[in-house]
């Protein structure tokens, strides 16, 4: 039996029942598998018992995912001789297999089980070299020839005495051969995505977010809050299909934010030849509401007036009337500009004005975006505030960089007073946090740490 995945031998003490076997749960999914049923149709199998066996086969068949690239099924019956009911390559549809099984006429002679096994080995499984193989042998009595090779496969021998045990065998059959889609059959609790893996499953998070210690939830900027306004390029050069990718990218950013009235607030502005506020900072209080609103945004087309968009953001988007929190609360204000080309108006005045107003500016460029403009829009250091992707299909690799830059690392919770990092009290607090969580600093990339130190040095130099 070399080359076979396993042999499942079903010993029947057949008793009649009216119900037909139905395997519980979703269909059995496998890799490329060749499965052959070898059934006893000797004279000792009485007509009603053979009918029971037929129903059992049909029930198992309905629990399989059959097809050329999934499970291929063949059926052999035997008594004193062996007959191929249909070979592995005969049918690709379950309905055709069931019809052949229902038309099956028993041979009603001796019980040459060893001969049937030899036939399965040498003929039924002759092809399909790179596919897994399994056989289910169904007998009701003592063989009239030698079947010594069974002795090495005792864990796969089942004695079935009742319908309940038939059901149990069906479940064991699935557990041995099937890749169950557990994500559709259990309450997995995964926040983002569940992936079945054999008899288990695991949870995945969107790109740019990490799985938490519970194995189910994904990390967010839970420790801090910001007022975030996104300026999205809706010019003609973006094209409608790419604009949908931009909206998806925006929602992936929203996924790692803790959106709430007290946490992070999000506003969206679209610009082309004109500027349109799609929704202000104070309108939506949950991530789900923000994401739904993003998907509903309609593409504007036309020109690329990035300077006009920056002016609108500075003069309107971060006003308290639009939902921004008062400056006295020290809530960080963050602007993220997304563009795919050169601006048709001047950006220098309002790019500088945004930074003078204390807005932390980030620039994301795609395709033909101009690096000099991105750097002028963004805050210093540019290494932390400018991101670029060669095309819209590769934008997702920017998410992790944006997350680590936008999310407050130490957390700015409600009521926390912002102080200079050079004050003695701040240094003591920083030292305490570092001692309590030493791995937090180790996880930073060296490039980001160096850039932040340079930024601090520049601030100190300006103060002098």
Residue 281 pLDDT greater than 60, yes or no: yes
pLDDT at 433: 39
Residue predicted with more confidence, 379 or 222: 379
Picking from 428, 432, 379, the residue whose alpha carbon sits closest to that of residue 406 is 379
Same fold, 33-177 and 179-220: no
pLDDT at 451: 58
Residue 222 pLDDT greater than 80, yes or no: no
Residue predicted with more confidence, 272 or 209: 272
Q: What is the token pair recorded at 137? A: 């042998």
Residue 106, preceding peptide bond in cis (omega within 30° of 0): no
Q: Give residue 129's pLDDT band: very low, low, confident or very high (50, 70, 90).
A: low
Report how far residue 350's alpha carbon sits from residue 45's, in angstroms, rounded to the nearest whole number: 90
Query: Between the ranges 45-54, 200-209, 339-348, 421-430, where is the mean pLDDT highest?
Result: 339-348
pLDDT at 430: 38
How is domain 33-177 classified at the CATH fold level? Rossmann fold (3.40.50)
* pLDDT tens digits, one per residue of 227-256: 999 999 999 999 998 899 999 999 988 988
Picking from 116, 161, 115, the residue whose alpha carbon sits closest to that of residue 137 is 116
**Dihedral, CA atoms, 159, 165, 166, 171, nearest 10 degrees?**
-110
Residue predicted with more confidence, 414 or 69: 69
pLDDT at 313: 97
With a CB cutoff of 8 Å and minimum separation 6, the contacts of 139 are 9, 10, 11, 12, 40, 111, 113
CATH of 179-220, one of 3.20.20.140, 3.50.50.60, 2.10.25.10, 3.40.140.80: 2.10.25.10
**Strands, E, within 316-377: which ranges?**
333-339, 359-366
Q: What is the mean pLDDT of the chain?
A: 76
Q: Give residue 172's pLDDT band: very low, low, confident or very high (50, 70, 90).
A: low
pLDDT at 54: 86
With a CB cutoff of 8 Å and minimum separation 6, the contacts of 154 are none
* pLDDT tens digits, one per residue of 444-460: 344 555 555 565 556 55
> Collapsing DSSP states into helix, strand and coil, what is residue 294?
helix
**What's this model's pTM, rounded to 2 decimal places?**
0.48
CATH class of 226-406: alpha beta
Domain ranges of the chain: 33-177, 179-220, 226-406
Give the dihedral sign, CA 49/52/57/60. Answer: negative
Residue 218 pLDDT greater than 90, yes or no: no
Q: What is the token pair recorded at 161? A: 């005495």
* pLDDT tens digits, one per residue of 397-448: 777 777 777 775 433 333 333 333 334 443 344 344 334 444 443 343 445 5
Is-contact 95 67, C-beta < 8 A? Answer: no
pLDDT at 27: 57
pLDDT at 181: 61
Picking from 323, 324, 457, 329, the residue whose alpha carbon sits closest to that of residue 381 is 457
Residue 149 pLDDT greater than 60, yes or no: no
């Amino acid at each position: 039996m070399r080359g076979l995945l396993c042999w499942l031998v079903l010993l029947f003490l057949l008793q009649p029942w009216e119900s037909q076997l139905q395997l519980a749960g979703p269909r059995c999914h496998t890799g490329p598998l060749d499965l052959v049923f070898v059934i006893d149709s000797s004279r000792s199998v009485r007509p009603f018992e053979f009918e029971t066996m037929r129903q059992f086969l049909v029930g198992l068949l309905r629990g399989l995912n059959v097809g050329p690239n999934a499970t291929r099924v063949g059926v052999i019956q035997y008594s004193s001789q062996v007959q191929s009911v249909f070979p592995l390559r005969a049918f690709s549809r379950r309905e055709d297999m069931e019809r052949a099984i229902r038309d099956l006429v028993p041979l009603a002679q001796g019980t040459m089980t060893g001969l049937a096994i030899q036939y399965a080995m040498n003929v039924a499984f002759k092809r399909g070299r790179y596919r897994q193989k399994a056989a289910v042998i169904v007998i009701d009595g003592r063989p009239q020839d030698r079947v010594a090779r069974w002795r090495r496969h005792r864990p796969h021998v089942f004695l079935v005495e009742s319908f309940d045990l038939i059901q149990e065998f069906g479940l064991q059959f699935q557990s041995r051969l099937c890749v169950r889609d557990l994500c559709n059959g259990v309450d997995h609790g995964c926040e983002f995505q569940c992936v079945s893996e054999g008899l288990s499953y695991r949870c995945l998070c969107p790109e740019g977010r990490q799985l938490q210690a519970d194995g189910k939830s994904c990390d967010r900027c839970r420790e801090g809050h910001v007022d975030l306004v996104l300026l999205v390029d809706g010019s003609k050069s973006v094209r409608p299909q790419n604009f949908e990718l931009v909206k998806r990218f925006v929602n992936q950013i929203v996924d790692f934010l803790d959106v709430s009235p007290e946490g992070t607030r999000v506003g969206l502005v679209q610009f082309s030849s004109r500027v349109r506020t799609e929704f202000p900072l104070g309108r939506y209080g949950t991530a789900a509401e923000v994401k739904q609103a993003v998907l509903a945004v309609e593409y504007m087309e036309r020109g690329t007036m990035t300077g006009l968009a920056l002016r609108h953001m500075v003069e309107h988007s971060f006003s308290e009337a639009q939902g921004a929190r008062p400056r006295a609360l020290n809530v960080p204000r963050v602007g993220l500009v997304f563009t795919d080309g050169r601006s048709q108006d001047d950006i220098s005045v309002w790019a500088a004005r945004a930074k003078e107003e204390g807005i932390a500016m980030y620039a994301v460029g795609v395709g033909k975006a101009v690096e000099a403009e991105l750097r002028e829009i963004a805050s210093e250091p540019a290494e932390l505030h400018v991101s670029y992707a060669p095309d819209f299909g590769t934008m997702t690799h920017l998410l992790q960089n944006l997350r680590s830059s936008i999310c407050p690392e130490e957390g700015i919770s409600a009521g926390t007073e912002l102080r200079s990092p050079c004050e003695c009290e701040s240094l003591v607090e920083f030292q305490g946090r570092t001692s309590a969580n030493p791995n937090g600093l180790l996880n930073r990339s060296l490039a980001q740490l160096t850039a932040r130190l340079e930024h601090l040095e520049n601030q100190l130099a300006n103060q002098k």
